Amino acid sequence: MNTRETLKINSAGHLSIGGADTTELAARFGTPLYVMDEQYIRDMCAAYSKAIRTDYGGNGLVLYASKAFSCMAIYRIAEQEGIGVDVVSGGELYTALKAGFPAEKICLHGNNKLATELSLAVESGVGLIAVDSYTELDKLDALCAEKGKRQEILLRINPGVEAHTHRFIQTAKTDSKFGFSVADGTAEKITAYALKKEHLDLKGYHCHIGSQIFEKQSFALAAEKMLGFMAEMRDKLGFTASVLNLGGGYGIWYAEGDAQQSVSDYTAYLRTVIGAVKASAARFAMPEPYLLIEPGRSIVGEAGITLYTVGAIKDIPGVKKYVAVDGGMFDNPRYALYQAKYTAILANRAKEPATERVSVAGKCCESGDIVCADVDLPAAKEGDILAVLSTGAYNYSMASNYNRNAVPPVVLVKNGKADYIVKPQSYEDIVRNDVIPESLR
């Protein structure tokens, strides 16, 4: 499955997703609206799991990186697919637990985990905590002592592979808020320190080299470097790591210029990584580690679209045409943050050819509030339904109430049926935590 298979144009000339007509979804649920295709998400989870089963003898687990899209329903889907999850905050952890997700299949990340977050993690019995500072090691050890628990941990390592979209470079760069560098020896020092902690059980290492990466070799190189480092720790400290978490980062299609991936491309990526892990383990005479991977964007990104209603249209002769929609940077801040590219379609006129290049603007009081720049569309009219594709990852999860706009609801579709997985926010919800203190009365 890929975006092209999830999204179809039906006999009415409307865009459909997961068998549901997007214009009907817009009419029933209103806009702006996030729509996620359940089958797409399940297919991706299953494909990654299958690669670990068939190519690595089942000696590992897929952890869905829930920062990409977090709500109770997604943890339920992950559980049903038999995978684990990665969480990076007390809020994500709480959401997963509230959905009944098994704690032992959760890995907690974060470069500055709060005492309350560590406490919730230890109490609930999360499987792994990826420790990323001396402060955290000390805090966590003391916490476990106090609670009479022993916690399995990983250490976050910076292997010196910096990956960018479409390319990768090897670097000894140590300037990162994440991880301990292999190159400057701090990774070895923290290993020695962690091994002395009485209430912590060091199982192995974690690394994450970047996001929206298409270059398979960068992941393979990271795997090689991590195995090399693990062998070094065995030789120098007598510590043989049994777990290796290689993070996430595999890229998805957003717009022209991005590779169109299919499930088999994603499993090919995992196969390359597994090949590198096996070869490096053999080369360094290390036991093959229990392998964790943390895909986020590739599981949910192309599963999602956002539906908007077209409002004001402003044509600035010789300059640009703006098509304004009822959403904006409060539901998708990725253009404002990263000048991210997207593909837009007029969902109610999906068969019509594009006749003009426009920028889709949001409704926030800010010039930089663009949803997607320079997209080709038929001449849009007020009331048209505009769909922006590949918005399943890092859109809802990065949404805000900027300008006191409501965060749009999310619906999940399967076989043409749609249900809320996140309900709409009301104005009452927006003022729920506001207080006018006595002094202002």
Residue from 168, 157, 339 nearest 249 by CA: 168
DSSP 3-state assignment of 180?
Answer: strand
Residue from 135, 240, 239 nearest 180 by CA: 135
Segment 108 to 137, residues that bind ligand LLP, using CB under 6 A: 109
SS (H, E, C) 54-97: HHHCCCEEEEEEHHHCCCHHHHHHHHHCCCEEEECCHHHHHHHH
Among 60, 84, 160, 249, binds ligand LLP (CB under 6 A): 249
Among 37, 38, 43, 86, binds ligand LLP (CB under 6 A): 86
* 248 lines the binding site for ligand LLP (CB under 6 A): yes
Is 70 or 405 the residue whose CB approaches ligand LLP more closely?
70
Is 42 or 67 the residue whose CB approaches ligand LLP more closely?
67
CB 250 → ligand LLP: shortest distance, Å?
Answer: 6
Among 33, 41, 62, 65, binds ligand LLP (CB under 6 A): 65
Segment 250 to 269, residues that bind ligand LLP, using CB under 6 A: 250
Residue from 362, 345, 222 nearest 280 by CA: 222
Q: Which entry of 71, 144, 365, 372 is annotated as an active-site residue?
A: 365
* 208 lines the binding site for ligand LLP (CB under 6 A): yes
Q: What is the CA radius of gyration of the chain?
A: 23
* 197 lines the binding site for ligand LLP (CB under 6 A): no
Residue from 279, 286, 218 nearest 251 by CA: 218
Residues 6+ apart with CB under 8 A from 214: 165, 166, 250, 251, 258, 259
Is 313 or 398 the residue whose CB approaches ligand LLP more closely?
398
Each residue 291-330 as x (binds ligand LLP by CB under 6 A) or -, in order, gives ---xxxxx--------------------------------
* 247 lines the binding site for ligand LLP (CB under 6 A): yes
Of 116-124, 289-297, 357-365, 380-388: span binding ligand LLP (CB under 6 A)? 289-297
* 211 lines the binding site for ligand LLP (CB under 6 A): yes
* CA-based max dimension of the chain: 73
- Answer positive or negative: Cα dihedral of 48, 80, 421, 17: positive
* 84 lines the binding site for ligand LLP (CB under 6 A): no
Dihedral over alpha carbons 292, 294, 298, 301 (to 10 degrees):
150
How many of the chain's residues bind ligand LLP (CB under 6 A)? Answer: 19
Is 10 or 262 the residue whose CB approaches ligand LLP more closely?
262
CB 439 → ligand LLP: shortest distance, Å?
Answer: 39
The verdict on whether omega for the bond into residue 408 sits within 30 degrees of 0, i.e. cis, is no
Each residue 393-432 as x (binds ligand LLP by CB under 6 A) or -, in order, gives -x--------------------------------------
| Cβ burial, residue 427 (10 Å; 0-12/13-18/19+) | exposed
What is the side-by-side order of every strand in the sheet holding 20-21? 7-9, 15-17, 20-21
Output the CA–CA distances (angstroms, integers) from residue 121 to 90, 94, 140, 155, in the order listed. 8, 9, 10, 16
Among 203, 334, 349, 363, binds ligand LLP (CB under 6 A): 334
Of 62-70, 361-369, 402-410, 420-428: span binding ligand LLP (CB under 6 A)? 62-70
Of 6-14, 206-214, 255-263, 373-381: span binding ligand LLP (CB under 6 A)? 206-214
Active site residue 365: yes
* 179 lines the binding site for ligand LLP (CB under 6 A): no
CB 340 → ligand LLP: shortest distance, Å?
Answer: 7
Residue 105 near residue 99, CB atoms below 8 Å? no
Of 5-13, 207-215, 277-285, 423-431: span binding ligand LLP (CB under 6 A)? 207-215
The DSSP secondary structure of 284-338, one letter per residue, reads TT-PPPEEEE---HHHHTTTEEEEEEEEEEEEETTTEEEEEES--TTT-THHHHH
Is 68 or 307 the residue whose CB approaches ligand LLP more closely?
68
Cite the active site residues.
365
Residues near ligand LLP (CB under 6 A) are: 65, 67-68, 86, 109, 208, 211-212, 247-250, 294-298, 334, 394
